[in-house]
Structure 1
Amino acid sequence: MARARLSHSPLPPSPDSSSRSHSDNDRPGKGHSDHNRQADIRRVAKILRDGGYTYDRSKHLIAEPRKEVSLTPSKRKKGSVDRLTGEEIDRLLTAAYEKSARQGLMLRTLLETGMRVSFFAKLTAEQIAFREKEIRVRGRGGKARDIPILQSLVNELRLHLGNRRTGYVFPSPRGGHYSSRRIQQIVKERAKDAEITKRFYPHLLRHTVAKRLADEGMPENLLQKFLGHENAQTTQVYYEPSRAQVKQAFEDAMD
């Protein structure tokens, strides 16, 4: 099956954030059990519900107590975003398609859309606008956005779905959706088959397309919208030059 290279309606409920990474400041202390944490969540939820808080007002409510106890996010090391090289992308997709056309399409979709695994696992056929060449997702906070996709990916998704226009795009063998953990396992298994030796994690696929788009000159505000970032600072990390880019710029200037 020919594959294009990575360009180097109703919405489902918001997926859970179980695969989200947390900083040390986000983690409860050792003596804070899961039971206590769930009780805390219920208490905060009751405050929000009883107070009639909107999403925007709730952000202020959470921000103030953080300041009160001096909670700050972990500092992100500039230039620390990793990515797959073009050769690694080719090897990964080859390994996936050799396993099955289905798994090849799964990894290609992740690579080209930058979709979070938790959203991808619950992707439905209704979310794909074939004519507009877009996939509609509901991001964090319940905000909807449209992810543009290439015509070649549209064609492959259409072929994969056949006459289906409802249900999960990649249903599990039991007919439901895959768990985020299972998607992560599949991605890691294919990375192992492709003999990719760097630390591999599913979010690396999202980093790869984001860094590629930034390097190709996509404006920061557009990349922010593509990725669904609420905070522009989260997007800025993709515009930090890598060592290889600095070296290449030096050689070009001195040549």
Structure 2
Amino acid sequence: MKNRDTLFAEFIEYLQLEKNSSQHTIDGYKKDILDFFLFMDEQILQSLSAVTYQDARIYLTKLYENRYAKKSISRKVSSLRSFYKYLVRESYLDTNPFAQVSLPKLEKKLPDFFYEEELEELFRSIDTSTPSGERNKALLEIMYATGIRVSECAGIKLSDIDFSSSVILVSGKGKKERFVPFGYFAKEALHTYINSGRKRLMKGQVHPYVFVNQKGTPLTARGIRYIFNQLIEKAGTNKRIHPHMIRHTFATHLLNRGADLRTVQELLGHSSVSATQVYTHVTKDHLKNTYMAHHPRA
């Protein structure tokens, strides 16, 4: 049997070439598996085939003792389960010691979102008299109009936007592409920014990315988060913001206004509807609160 470093390298190559996993996902697998290799060394486990179900249970106990969050433990166990599943599939091993290890139950946390009036206040607070203001308005409009992830927004190129059909080609997780529509307000803000603010911000730079920073270079996901934090401070709201809240708001507002779950799933780029169902809890609360506030016999 090949040594563990060779098998580890083959697994990473499998994630890159066959699974088409994102670099963020691959980095997560690397860290989780290398952490387990340290545990193997401590336990004097000479090879991957020497690891038993009992060893997997001991590792799980150690993670709890080191006070890892339940979410982190679940991710680590899932990573190792996938690694061993690959080894079994490739006939390097007969059994997967992590197959029967139960994952800790995670608390279901409802997504934060903006109410429509809060979002309107945020839009109104943007000063569009400057190039960066035009960019910020376009950034907020397009993220709310499409529900795309921050990383997806940072990756938008000029050639990805079809103004005639009002759709954007978005490259999502695992490099999966999807077309996402956008409405009138986003179209106007994006058109103004590209033809005015972006040209002034570019400062001689030449690249295809839509959203740029003050130096004219492509805006990163971290840069977008910084901009959103500034917008919230300027709007004077006490609510803490993270860019993913705009994605949550997009989904929640669509469902509140009658959109079906499957359509929202497709727009968000979720691989399964279960990832989208969390938003139904939010909309149910909204319906209940509206009912209690307005029904004569509530």
Q: TM-score, normalised by structure 2?
A: 0.61
1:24 pairs with 2:83: no
- Report which stretch shifted further, 68-77 or 87-96: 68-77
Matched letter for residue 226 of structure 2:
Q
Does the alignment pair 1:254 with 2:297? yes
Secondary structure of the corresponding residue to residue 126 of structure 2: helix
> Aligned AA for 2:124?
T
Q: Give the aligned partner of residue 195 of structure 1.
A: 236
Contact 1:122/1:168 (8 A) holds in 2: yes
Cα deviation, residue 202, structure 1: 1.1
State the match for 1:67 in structure 2.
99
| SS of match in other structure, 2:125 | helix
Displacement of 1:182: 1.3
Q: In 2 relative to 1, CA 177–72 (structure 1 residues): closer, same or farther, beyond 3 Å? A: farther
Which whole-Å CA distance do the structure 2 matches of 1:88 and 1:16 have between them? 35
TM-aligned CA deviation for residue 131 of structure 1: 1.3
- Deviation of 1:207 after TM superposition, in Å, equals 0.5
Give the Cα separation in 2 of the matches to 1:142 and 1:184: 22
Matches within 5 A, 1:111-190: 111-162=144-195, 167-190=208-231
Change (3 A) 1:16 1:122: farther
Pair 146,73 (structure 1): closer, same or farther in 2 beyond 3 Å? farther
Cα distance in 2 for residues equivalent to 1:15 and 1:125: 22
Q: Assess if the C-alpha contact under 8 Å between 2:73 and 2:104 holds in 1.
A: yes
The structure that has the greater radius of gyration is: 2
Aligned partners of 1:114 and 1:227 also within 8 Å: yes
For residues 136-174 of structure 1, the C-alpha deviation after alignment (integer angstroms, 9 at most, x for no partner) is 11221222111111134223322322398x711112344
Is this contact kept in 1: 2:111–2:248, CA < 8 A?
Answer: yes
Instruction: Note the C-alpha offset of 1:212.
Output: 0.1
> SS in structure 2 opposite 1:162?
helix
**Residue 107 (structure 1) aligned with residue 140 (structure 2):** yes
Change (3 A) 1:195 1:143: same
CA RMSD of aligned residues (A): 3.5
Q: Distance in 2 between matches of 1:216 and 1:152?
A: 18
Distance 2:210 2:251 in 1: 23
Among 71, 93, 108, the alignment partner of 1:76 is 108
Distance 2:180 2:284 in 1: 26
Cα shift readout 1:71-115 (whole Å, capped 9, x = no counterpart): 3572424xx222112221122112233571221111121122111
- CA 1:134–1:120 in 2, change beyond 3 Å: closer, same or farther? same
Alpha-carbon distance between aligned partners in 2 of 1:121 and 1:75, rounded to the nearest angstrom: 31
| Equivalent pair of 1:66/1:72 in contact (CA under 8 Å) | no
Matched, 1:88 2:118: yes
User: Size of the alignment, in residue pairs?
Assistant: 214
Measure, in 1, the Cα distance between the counterparts of 2:265 and 2:288.
24
Distance 1:97 1:16 in 2: 36
| Unaligned stretches of 5+ residues in structure 1 | 1-12, 30-36, 52-63
Question: What is the identity percentage for the equivalent residue pairs of Structure 1 and Structure 2?
Answer: 27
Q: Structure 2 stretches of 5 or more lacking a match?
A: 1-19, 29-69, 91-95, 200-206
Deviation at 1:233, TM superposition (A): 0.9
Counterpart contact for 2:161–2:168, Cα < 8 Å? yes
Given that residues 134 and 192 in structure 2 are in contact (C-alpha distance below 8 angstroms), is that contact kept between their aligned partners in structure 1? no
Name whichever structure is richer in helix by fraction.
2
Distance 2:185 2:126 in 1: 17
Q: Which has the higher contact order (CA 8 A, sep 6+)?
A: 1
Per the normalisation by structure 1, the TM-score is 0.70
Query: How far, CA to CA, are the matches of 2:146 and 2:246 in structure 1?
Result: 9
